[in-house]
Amino acid sequence: MNAIDSLDPRVAVAFYGHFSKLTEVQEAAIEPLTAGKNIVISSATASGKTEAVLAPLVSKYWRLAAKANALTLLYIAPTKALVNDIEKRIYLPCSTIGLRVGVRHGDRDDLIGSMKPHLLITTPESLDVMLFRKEPALLSIRAVVIDEVHLLYNTQRGLQLSILLRRLRQLIPEGLQWAALSATIGDLSGVREFLVGKDQSAMYLSYPTRRPIDAQVRHVASESVFLDLIRKLLGGQSTKLLIFTNSRRECERLAGALHRDDTLRHSVFAHYSSLSPEVRLDTERKFASTKTAICVATSTLELGIDIGDIDAVILWGMPGSVESFLQRVGRGNRRSNKTNVVCLIPDDSPSVTLDAMRFVVLIDAARKGELPVRAPYDIFGAVGQQLLSIIASDGGRFTRITDLCEIMAHKTYLSRDIVENILAELASNGFLQRHGFKNQYGADEVLHRLVDMKLIYGNFGIGSQMVDVYHGSKRLGDVPATNLMKLLNGSLIRFAGKCWKVQKFSRDGIFLQPSPATSGASDFSYGGEAVHTDAFVFDRIWKLIHSSELFEELLAKELRPRVAQFIERIRSVCSQEHIPCQRVTEGVRYYTFGGYLVNKAICLVSRKVGFRVDDISLLVPSEIDWTQIPQQPAIYNEFFPLLFETSSGQSIYQRMLPVNLQQQEFLQEWLKDKTIPLVLARLVKGKPKLVKEFLV
């Protein structure tokens, strides 16, 4: 019997009636889901994962939903844009069988009104809002889908969702079936443990990406070179190009350059998070319907938002992670089942050769379907947010510590001592107050203010939550929204080199007027810069340099001699077992190709002072005895406080944590990345080799 025969016939026709055949993952998901089991799916972009889980879940629950006329299925996606796109995608098959589909996020709430949806698509933050407001529609949910789970795995938003799912399960005595989906994830069992805990059973369905990738790496020496390349790729034909950048500034820069070109300006679109939802949706619609178009975007279009078939994906600069690279290239040409990718090294690259090697390694990993493997992180920031949300949702009334601990019980590392430690820190900062003689906590003044500012629901990084600053109607700039927590009307603040008096402030903006007085003025708070570290990439670069694999065809002609000379220079003086080093004025520079965190840890454990590190090297005042370097990350515990660095990636709730828990969070990458002990083992066995020149 075919798997599809297990589906309700009406559902099978609605979801798969126009399919010539089911994909592998769609076939595999039917039996476990219709049997009520939980699953984690990893499958290639465009393999039909959404239908793979919804068809069997709808088949199992749609009659119950229709009979009860109640919300029964919950679909959680990480962004509002993806929520909107999924609604468009599943509306027709669901409506065919009379299933109402609704959306709940910051711009729309389909739970308002008498006709509740049977299937609701939402974000983690909106689920938090619904639980905060004790939404009665949640009580009838029977199954949950979590999409693009790689964006949530080992993150604060993921921990927030994990606790939200636990809170939701406590409301539903019948139990809650779940499915988690991703195109890029290295450890499926880790997803289950991180999102729902070890006590929940699940099946793992993995279909690694094996999609052919036609890629080329080029260096863009100037804006004119970039424009010439775009014209060449368009070739006077109907062509769609999707250009990914790593920042809003670069997005605006490239879009501006394209707009200034008379032959290209009418085909150019921009897409990034600062644009209003209406503008982004309009961009998506126009780009999808235009035959020849160029869209310059940040990570907002990494996900499976329907913008039509893309003829080529262009990467302007290095993505932040292997997973991000895979998501971006996965948006490429789906019609031919082959991805066309052009990897561009920007004109301001500090090391063109090294960036070329990084791109080559990412392409190689993508072709082979190989990903970094990281065990589930023990993190805490969202615990504080959820403790505050739970207490505030009950009107701020005193809540027993035991009851709060029970909600966190599925996370085995969250002992009562840790929960109490977080509660005590929140109390010391005015968010909570402890009952005088009972083991209970209730709301204090700052928590009520947090709710009023609508900062209670999210775990986004400090640097990603901004509020505009105005002088009258003139917009001066923006600052992190956390500044709202410390402002007072009439207080003095320094901004843009001047002193200002705060007139009023809210999430709509901070309004200032010039002040002649300067005494007692304070500064806005700004997040620090996050340091990107990925030992997986740099370790692979070192191995690729010494391998026999051929990758010259990935490089544009002008890059090949440059990279070949670099590789030959290394191979001529050392082997893979060596650690190249140079004597310099400041001491000794070792080229480890181990990543920033590894290099910093080695300097600390070697007790070097005045060291400097980057992703491929470390500079120390004297030689390192590599045989004495510990191979297991946990042995470095003496130096954990010194490894710790704050960043703009921290949420306001992470900043509220006791310092020891902030340190423990930061160290999760060090302790849970499976590549790091392999790099340490390579370096411990390595033999330092003095070289005269090692220019990157």
Measured torsion, CA atoms of residues 515, 518, 522, 527, in degrees rounded to the nearest 10: 80
Q: What is the pLDDT of residue 121?
A: 97
Cβ atoms within 10 Å, residue 162: 24
Residues near 363 by Cβ (< 8 Å), separated by ≥ 6? Answer: 213, 215, 217, 341, 343, 551, 554
CATH number of 462-523: 2.40.240
How wide is the angle at C-alpha 107 spanned by C-alphas 103 and 109, nearest 5°? 40
CB atoms under 10 Å from CB of 363, counted, come to: 21
326 pLDDT band, cuts 50/70/90, is: confident
* Sheet (strand 203-207) strand order: 108-109, 101-105, 119-122, 73-76, 143-146, 177-182, 39-43, 203-207
Averaged pLDDT score across all residues of the chain: 88
Pick 147 or 173 by higher pLDDT.
147
Structure tokens at 180: 């988690």
Overall fold of domain 381-452: Arc Repressor Mutant, subunit A (1.10.10)
At 207, is the pLDDT very low, low, confident or very high (cuts 50, 70, 90)? Answer: confident
Query: Mean of the pLDDT values across residues 153-168?
Result: 96
Summarize the confidence of residues 6-14 as an average pLDDT: 92
* pLDDT class of 528 with cuts at 50, 70, 90: very low
Superfamily of domain 213-368: P-loop containing nucleotide triphosphate hydrolases (3.40.50.300)
Q: What pLDDT is recorded for position 695?
A: 58
Task: Judge whether 3-207 and 213-368 match in fold.
Answer: yes
What is the domain partition of the chain in residue ranges? 3-207, 213-368, 381-452, 462-523, 555-690
Q: How confident is the model at residue 2 (pLDDT cuts 50, 70, 90)?
A: confident
The residue that leads in pLDDT, 661 or 471, is 661
Rounded to an integer, the average pLDDT of 566-587 is: 93
pLDDT tens-digit map of 275-310: 666 677 788 888 888 888 898 888 767 665 666 778
- pLDDT tier for residue 577 given thresholds of 50, 70 and 90: very high
Separation between Cα atoms, residue 49 and residue 44, nearest integer Å: 9
377 strand-pairing partners: none
pLDDT at 484 over 70: yes
Residue 690 is encoded by which pair of tokens?
């003095």
Question: pLDDT of 447-476, one tens digit each?
Answer: 998 888 888 888 776 555 678 888 898 877
pLDDT surpassing 60 at residue 526: no
pLDDT per residue as tens digits for the range 86-107: 999 999 999 999 999 999 998 8
**What are the CA-CA distances from residue 529 to residues 208, 537, 597, 648, 650 (Å)?**
34, 21, 15, 5, 10
What is the structure's pLDDT at 529?
A: 43
Span 231-240, mean pLDDT? 86
Residues facing 588 on adjacent strands? 583, 620
Query: Can you say whether residue 166 is alpha, beta or left, with left for phi > 0 and alpha for psi between -120 and 50 degrees?
Result: alpha
pLDDT at 692 exceeding the cut of 60: yes
Residue 324 has pLDDT above 90, yes or no: no
- Interacting residues of 538 by C-beta distance below 8 A, sequence separation 6+: 593, 594, 595, 615, 616
Topology annotation, domain 3-207 = Rossmann fold (3.40.50)
pLDDT of residue 694: 65
Check residues 347 and 422 and name the one with the higher pLDDT.
422
In this prediction, residue 548 has a pLDDT band, given cuts at 50, 70 and 90, of confident
Q: How far apart are CA 48 and CA 22, in angstroms?
A: 9
Encode pLDDT of 595-654 as tens digits. 999 999 999 999 999 999 999 999 999 999 999 999 999 999 999 999 988 765 678 899
Q: What is the pTM of this model?
A: 0.85
Percent of the chain with pLDDT over 90: 58
Share in percent of the chain as helix, strand, coil (round to 5): 45, 20, 40
- Residue 79: pLDDT band by 50, 70, 90 thresholds? confident
Closest CA to 564 of 351, 359, 353, 345: 353
Confidence (pLDDT) at 650:
78
Mean pLDDT of 582-592: 95
Report the pLDDT value the prediction gives residue 339, as an integer from 0 to 100.
78
Phi-psi domain of 460 (left: phi exceeds 0; alpha: psi -120 through 50; beta: other) = beta
| Residue 423: pLDDT over 80 | yes
673 touches 554 (CB < 8 A): no
